[in-house]
Amino acid sequence: MNSKKFNIRSAKPEDVAVLPEIERLAGYMFKSYPGDLGISEDIYENPSTVETFAAAQKAGLLWVATVFGGELVGFALVIEIEEYAHLEEIDVLPAYGGKGIGSALLARVCSWAKEKGYPAVTLRTFRDVPWNAPFYHNRGFRVVDSSMLSPAHMRLEASELERGLRMDNRVTMVYETVY
């Protein structure tokens, strides 16, 4: 699927209602991973709320991917952590995976962050899951210690531990927008 068959755009208010279901369905892909990631059934069954997506949309921190006909098939959600643009989540419906949509969403977020003057895009992800850290590494991200970024990044890491995620397979990554 090339970029003429999908579109990346800023989310509209009417988009947010379907995004929790996209998140839930994309999240199920982690169940196919052979290792124990520490993802509880509660995490799978309780995606981000419509209110969370609505707030991000209103703040200009949410992008969606659509295919021909306007069907929403993915999204990228950013939060601001101190002076950084933090990619909180990027999800693509499994049926549309491997078609460049996630890469296009990521490129849009990185381009936006550079335009807005953020020094970097940060994220937290699984080190060994192929569509996580290796995916980001192949697109210019590098692993860093959260303590090198900000206290807020350390708090984010602590909140993941509280939710039961395995920290031995989690990494913080950064894509510098200023060279």
Query: Residues 102-112: pLDDT tens digits?
Result: 999 999 999 99
Q: Which range among 68-77, 92-101, 103-112, 143-152 shows the weakest confidence by mean pLDDT?
A: 143-152
Provide the whole-model pTM: 0.91
Q: What is the pLDDT of residue 160?
A: 87
The C-alpha atoms of residue 37 and residue 86 are separated, in whole angstroms, by 21
Angle at 46 between CA 40 and CA 85, to 5 degrees: 95
Quote the mean pLDDT of the chain. Answer: 92
The C-alpha atoms of residue 5 and residue 3 are separated, in whole angstroms, by 5
Q: What is the pLDDT of residue 42?
A: 84
Q: What is the pLDDT of residue 36?
A: 80
Could you confirm whether domain 3-176 is CATH 3.40.630.30? yes
Of the candidates 20, 24, 85, the one whose C-alpha atom is nearest the C-alpha of residue 53 is 20
Task: Give the Å distances, CA to CA, from 55 to 13, 48, 63, 122, 163.
Answer: 10, 11, 13, 20, 23
Q: What is the pLDDT of residue 179?
A: 67
Task: Give the Å distances, CA to CA, from 122 to 60, 85, 99.
Answer: 17, 6, 24
- Residue spans per domain, the chain: 3-176
Residue 3 has pLDDT above 60, yes or no: no
Residues 86, 80 contacting (CB under 8 angstroms): yes
Average pLDDT of span 147-173: 88
Task: Please state the φ and ψ torsions of residue 122, each to the nearest 5 degrees.
Answer: -115, 165
